[in-house]
Chain A
Amino acid sequence: MSSKLIMEKVFKYFPLRRSLVEILTFRPPRYVRAVDGVSFTVDEGEIFCLAGESGCGKTTTGRLIVRLLEFTGGRALYRPRKEILSEIPPQYIVEKEYVDLTAKLPRQVDKLLRRDVQIVFQDPYGSLNPRMRIYDILKEPLDIHGVGASEDEKREKVFKALEEVKLTPPEEFAERYPHMLSGGQRQRIGIARALILEPSLVVADEPVSMLDVSVRAEILQLMMDLKATRNLTYVFITHDLAVAAYICNRIGIMYLGTIVEKGPIDLIVNNPQHPYAKALIAAVPEPDPRNRFKIREVPIKGEIPSAANIPPGCRFHPRCPYAMDICKKEPPPEIEIEKGHTVSCWLYAKR
């Protein structure tokens, strides 16, 4: 098996605040079911994309992988790189080379995993401390994890990281503060910070959505170059299917806490099966002025409901143009349409 990450029916529920009346009348607590039984695998060295509208749970899934949030349930097997794996006590290792991220892990294992799984945040304006110099921002992870024996060695690592994200000369950029950089340059700091501990899995949460189009391509290219030189695996979270089509190998399309369709990107872009995936792909605008004479067919109606109040059965049925009786009652099974391409929809179930 060459999977880097195996997510098996993972859950993340956020409890809603209860009123005093609700507590006194023993009403059961209610939850926002942000991630509700998501399964996917990420292969070593691939770019796996999670896509969907806002509120679909893609960011929560990403944060679970980095363990910025705790899992509510499920199993998430992660295979660390060899050096990290050898330091992990054997009782925490499952199936020879995996660690279950949903298990309660001691601080020491936790810290090791944090070195190996890193995240690039969406907002390069909000994710860098404005009071820290770039040098300190990049040195902080080294200090925390005790990487680099001396200050000189750390300095060298910081400069190397800056060079790698093409912020040269590094001596000059290291002395600057975040406000002195453009959005694209800041996002490169975000990438350098994620990579300085030499992780093997990087979760990139909408890394280009806040950037201007003209610099987006540059950041995407940088991420692909770094992936090649450092043998990285990415979980790439985006709402922009055109970006996903450009960068990723496989994609999972999320809707209201579940993956409705997943598979190789080409198969999904050219042959989407789930009504939601079809609508999502039909809705992507393209820079062709001939489009102005035609209305885009986006058959689905309404907007995504709240994750605190998920419709029964298939959670997409209130918006689905093909909804049948069964969709309102039972959640759909996952069906393999072609090799590696699965869809969760009653339309494709043989009964």
Chain B
Amino acid sequence: MYKNGKVWNVSSALLNVNDLRIYYYTLTGVVRGVDGVSFQLQDGEVLGIAGESGCGKSTLGYGLLGLIPPPGRIAGGSVVLDGIDITKLKPAELRKVRWAKVSMVFQGAMNALNPVYTVGHQLAEPLVIHKGMSVKEALEVAGEMLKRVGLGPEVLGRYPHELSGGMKQRVMIAMALLLKPRLVIADEPTTALDVVIQAQIMNLFKEIKQRERNAMIFITHDLSLIAEVADKTAIMYAGKMVELGPSDNVFNNPAHPYTQGLLRSIPRLRGKEKITWIPGVPPDLRAPPPGCRFHPRCPYAMDVCRSEEPPTVEVEKGHTVSCWLYAKR
């Protein structure tokens, strides 16, 4: 079935991203949105990916679904999901994998639903197409799924404009879970929502994690939200993954100066320690600085940082960082 993408040396990981490069070929130059990102995800694991706007975290998420908008293109590397390299699939083959094995909760639930179809119609569609169900069966399954995200079956007959923001986001989550994919990617799923609704949606994600046991990638700029759900945390900066490790280690013992800076810049509700910031601005990804991309903003920058790309070093078990400070020379 997946002739083009079959990979024979299947590793135990559910998702194996290796040296993925996604470039946007614009008129003013090549924007290296994602530039050599590698990581693995086990079944049932939740990975949080954080970074500033423009760091490539959303591009990475879209890349995993093979949904890069033009002029973007996967320029190299591989994304092996459940033994299939999705970067090598033809569009028709990719459509079979997408949503069945990997699905997405899109950014901005407000606009991600089609306003002219009922919720039921939109939820039934993937079941009819992927599973060949009749519309009646599909609506039944869809109603069941709505119940699992805390909505009543009457929502099936409603149009998106009749739902509140939080309800729309629940519909989006139900949609992502419909085909029981092994991996769900959530791209800023709570950005447009109020805090109380955000907390309710985060609770829903926690319940889903407990109950469905699928792997999840949670993309957000808000490290606090990552701490709410993620077992592992990855920090991206200027198209690179600069730190990756178990959430406890990354939050309590951050290694990369960028991660340290980010964590120190979050105001806390209680506790009056002074927050600090990271001076400067992220680089233009058309012409990133040579060496370590963070060096112009890094308080510990050394000569080698300015000329050579840092190696990825394991500082603790499963906790890696790309920084010269930790390289043994």
Give the interface of A toward B (CB within 8 A).
53-54, 182-185, 212-218, 220-221, 239-243, 245-247, 269-270, 279-292, 295-296, 298, 300, 303-304
B164 surroundings in chain A (CB, below 8 A): 303
B310 surroundings in chain A (CB, below 8 A): none
A243 surroundings in chain B (CB, below 8 A): 267
B279 surroundings in chain A (CB, below 8 A): 218
| Nearest CB in chain A: distance from B81 CB, A | 24
Output the nearest chain B residue to A243 by Cβ-Cβ distance: B267
Is A239 touching B194 in the complex (CB atoms < 8 A)?
yes
Q: How far is the CA of A216 from the CA of B263 in the complex (A)?
A: 12
Q: How far is the CA of A53 from the CA of B166 in the complex (A)?
A: 13
| Nearest CB in chain A: distance from B317 CB, A | 16
B262 surroundings in chain A (CB, below 8 A): 213-214
Q: How far is the CA of A288 from the CA of B252 in the complex (A)?
A: 8
Neighbour of B207 across the interface among A286, A295, A300, CB < 8 A: A295
Output the nearest chain B residue to A319 by Cβ-Cβ distance: B196
25 A-B contacts (beta carbon < 8 Å): A53-B195, A182-B281, A212-B53, A213-B265, A214-B52, A214-B265, A214-B277, A214-B278, A216-B265, A216-B277, A217-B276, A221-B277, A241-B195, A246-B267, A269-B270, A285-B199, A286-B269, A287-B227, A289-B230, A289-B233, A289-B251, A292-B229, A295-B203, A296-B203, A304-B194
B228 surroundings in chain A (CB, below 8 A): 285, 291-292, 296
CB neighbors of A among B186-221 (8 A): 194-200, 202-203, 206-207, 221
Is A285 touching B224 in the complex (CB atoms < 8 A)?
yes
Enumerate the 6 nearest inter-chain pairs by beta-carbon distance, A residue then B residue, closest first.
A283-B199, A285-B224, A289-B247, A246-B267, A218-B277, A217-B277
Q: How far is the CA of A292 from the CA of B233 in the complex (A)?
A: 12
- Which of B207, B228, B276, B279 is packed against the most chain A CB atoms within 10 Å? B228
B233 surroundings in chain A (CB, below 8 A): 289
A185 surroundings in chain B (CB, below 8 A): 281
Is A284 touching B266 in the complex (CB atoms < 8 A)?
no
Is A291 touching B227 in the complex (CB atoms < 8 A)?
yes
Is A298 touching B194 in the complex (CB atoms < 8 A)?
no
Over the window 143-171 of chain B, the binary record of Cβ atoms lying under 8 Å from chain A Cβ atoms (1 yes, 0 no) is 00000000000000000000011100000
In the complex, B248 has a CB within 8 A of chain A: yes
Known: A215-B277, A287-B268. 18 other contacts (CB 8 A): A213-B222, A214-B261, A217-B265, A241-B195, A243-B267, A245-B269, A270-B270, A283-B199, A286-B224, A286-B227, A287-B227, A288-B251, A289-B227, A289-B230, A289-B251, A292-B230, A296-B203, A303-B197
Output the nearest chain A residue to B248 by Cβ-Cβ distance: A289
A239 surroundings in chain B (CB, below 8 A): 194-195
In the complex, B14 has a CB within 8 A of chain A: no
Is A298 touching B277 in the complex (CB atoms < 8 A)?
no
In the complex, B43 has a CB within 8 A of chain A: no
Is A288 touching B198 in the complex (CB atoms < 8 A)?
no
In the complex, B141 has a CB within 8 A of chain A: no
B247 surroundings in chain A (CB, below 8 A): 289, 292
- The answer to whether residues A280 and B266 also contact, given A292-B228, A296-B202 and a CB cut-off of 8 A, is no
Neighbour of B251 across the interface among A182, A213, A215, A287, CB < 8 A: A287
- The answer to whether residues A213 and B200 also contact, given A241-B195, A285-B228, A295-B207 and a CB cut-off of 8 A, is no
Output the nearest chain B residue to A56 by Cβ-Cβ distance: B194
Q: How large is the interface on B (under 10, 10 to 19, 20 to 34, 35 or more residues)?
A: 35 or more
Q: How far is the CA of A287 from the CA of B230 in the complex (A)?
A: 11
Over the window 264-286 of chain B, the binary record of Cβ atoms lying under 8 Å from chain A Cβ atoms (1 yes, 0 no) is 01111110000111110100000
Is B227 touching A282 in the complex (CB atoms < 8 A)?
no
Is B166 touching A217 in the complex (CB atoms < 8 A)?
no
Is A280 touching B196 in the complex (CB atoms < 8 A)?
yes
Is A279 touching B261 in the complex (CB atoms < 8 A)?
no
- Which of B199, B202, B223 is packed against the most chain A CB atoms within 10 Å? B199
B221 surroundings in chain A (CB, below 8 A): 212-213
Q: How far is the CA of A88 from the CA of B291 in the complex (A)?
A: 61
- The answer to whether residues A280 and B166 also contact, given A212-B221, A245-B268, A288-B251 and a CB cut-off of 8 A, is no
Is B267 touching A292 in the complex (CB atoms < 8 A)?
no
| Nearest CB in chain B: distance from A260 CB, A | 13
In the complex, B298 has a CB within 8 A of chain A: no
Q: How far is the CA of A214 from the CA of B281 in the complex (A)?
A: 9
In the complex, B125 has a CB within 8 A of chain A: no
B281 surroundings in chain A (CB, below 8 A): 182, 184-185, 215
Q: How far is the CA of A290 from the CA of B263 in the complex (A)?
A: 15
B227 surroundings in chain A (CB, below 8 A): 285-289, 291-292
Output the nearest chain A residue to B194 by Cβ-Cβ distance: A53
Is B52 touching A287 in the complex (CB atoms < 8 A)?
no
In the complex, B225 has a CB within 8 A of chain A: yes
In the complex, B93 has a CB within 8 A of chain A: no
| Nearest CB in chain B: distance from A191 CB, A | 15
Q: How far is the CA of A288 from the CA of B196 in the complex (A)?
A: 18
Q: How far is the CA of A287 from the CA of B50 in the complex (A)?
A: 12
| Nearest CB in chain B: distance from A32 CB, A | 17
Neighbour of A298 across the interface among B200, B248, B269, CB < 8 A: B200
In the complex, B231 has a CB within 8 A of chain A: yes
B200 surroundings in chain A (CB, below 8 A): 298
Neighbour of B199 across the interface among A215, A220, A269, A298, CB < 8 A: A298
- Which of A216, A220, A292, A298 is packed against the most chain B CB atoms within 10 Å? A292
Q: How far is the CA of A144 from the CA of B198 in the complex (A)?
A: 43
